[in-house]
């Protein structure tokens, strides 16, 4: 159900309003994801305790938690102690709101939109944790594996999708693991982190082998660009893998069909 289909079957006002609500709900959930990532890194309980200012500890009210606009109206400072609000908060809200809106504009009212929404939330959370602590917790990978079951049921072809997914996960994740082990043995140095390899495997379950290969290449290119932009010798690879996975979820199929036609195969 593409955007063109929605424009032809619904009023423009309804489509625009639906997109706006998608962004708002995505932003609100992005605030939760930022809180989840921060508490994961600082070993605080995710399920208990209300949101509070990191500086003074004051419990935040509903007006303080309005996505994006709350940050703007408060001028980026806590209303209780005046401390600067971490920019991660509004960044997470904008990123996830945009990711959800992008999925809606790409797939409309379709099961693929729901898949992208859930996965983008998980990918954003693990990216924030990886950026702060240089580690990808197994809990985020487990969430991707658990969501794979509903993803298969929503695909319309559970058996075929499962086979393609397992092939993609084993080819990408397993292939990178073998190469990494060989690299470590030859160079006698630590290679890629285990969390990155698990993330590539989990992403491969959703993308399959061919789009998964494109995802791997795109992840490497994105990682190199991030390294050059940030001017650091070492950066977490999780954000690059996550961003590339989101792009492939939206446009991987279209790219593969274009490439096959270009090669005279499709």
Backbone phi, psi, residue 68, to 5°: 60, -60
What pTM value is reported for the model? 0.89
Q: Which residues of 77-114 are buried (b: 16+ CB within 10 A; e: fewer)?
A: ebbbeeeebeeebbebbbbbbebbbbbbbbbbebebbb
What ranges in the chain are assigned the alpha helix state H?
A: 3-9, 12-41, 69-73, 87-107, 111-133, 138-154, 158-169, 175-187, 194-230, 238-262
Give ∠ CA 134-249-173 in degrees, rounded to 5.
50
Are 34 and 89 in contact, with CB atoms under 8 Å apart?
A: yes
pLDDT in tens, 76-131: 777 767 767 778 888 999 999 999 999 999 998 888 999 999 999 999 999 999 99
For the chain, the domains span 1-108, 110-266
**pLDDT digits 0-9 by tens, 130-147:** 999 999 999 999 999 999
Q: How far apart are the two ends of the chain, measured CA to CA in Å?
A: 23
């Amino acid at each position: 159900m593409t955007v063109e289909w929605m424009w032809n079957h619904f009023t423009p006002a309804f489509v625009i309003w639906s997109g706006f609500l998608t962004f708002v709900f995505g932003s609100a959930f992005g605030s939760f994801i930022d809180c989840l990532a921060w508490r994961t890194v600082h070993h605080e309980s995710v399920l208990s305790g209300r949101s509070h200012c990191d500086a003074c500890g004051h419990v935040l009210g509903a007006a303080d938690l309005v996505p994006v606009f709350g940050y703007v109206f408060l001028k980026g400072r806590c209303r209780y102690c005046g401390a600067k609000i971490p920019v991660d908060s509004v960044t997470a809200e904008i990123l996830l709101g945009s990711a959800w809106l992008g999925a809606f504009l790409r797939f409309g009212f379709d099961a693929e939109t729901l898949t992208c929404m859930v996965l983008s939330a998980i990918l954003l959370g693990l990216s924030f944790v990886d950026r702060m602590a240089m580690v990808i917790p197994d809990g985020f990978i487990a969430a991707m594996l658990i969501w794979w079951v509903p993803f298969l049921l929503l695909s319309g072809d559970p058996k075929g999708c499962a086979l393609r997914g397992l092939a993609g996960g084993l080819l990408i994740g397993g292939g990178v693991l073998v190469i990494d082990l060989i690299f470590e043995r030859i160079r006698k140095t630590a290679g890629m982190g285990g969390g990155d390899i698990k993330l590539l495997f989990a992403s491969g379950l959703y993308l399959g082998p061919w789009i998964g290969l494109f995802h791997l290449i795109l992840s490497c290119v994105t990682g190199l660009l991030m390294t050059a932009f940030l001017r650091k010798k070492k950066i977490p690879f999780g954000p690059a893998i996550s961003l590339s996975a989101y792009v492939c979820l939206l446009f991987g199929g279209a790219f593969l069909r274009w490439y096959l036609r270009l090669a005279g195969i499709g």
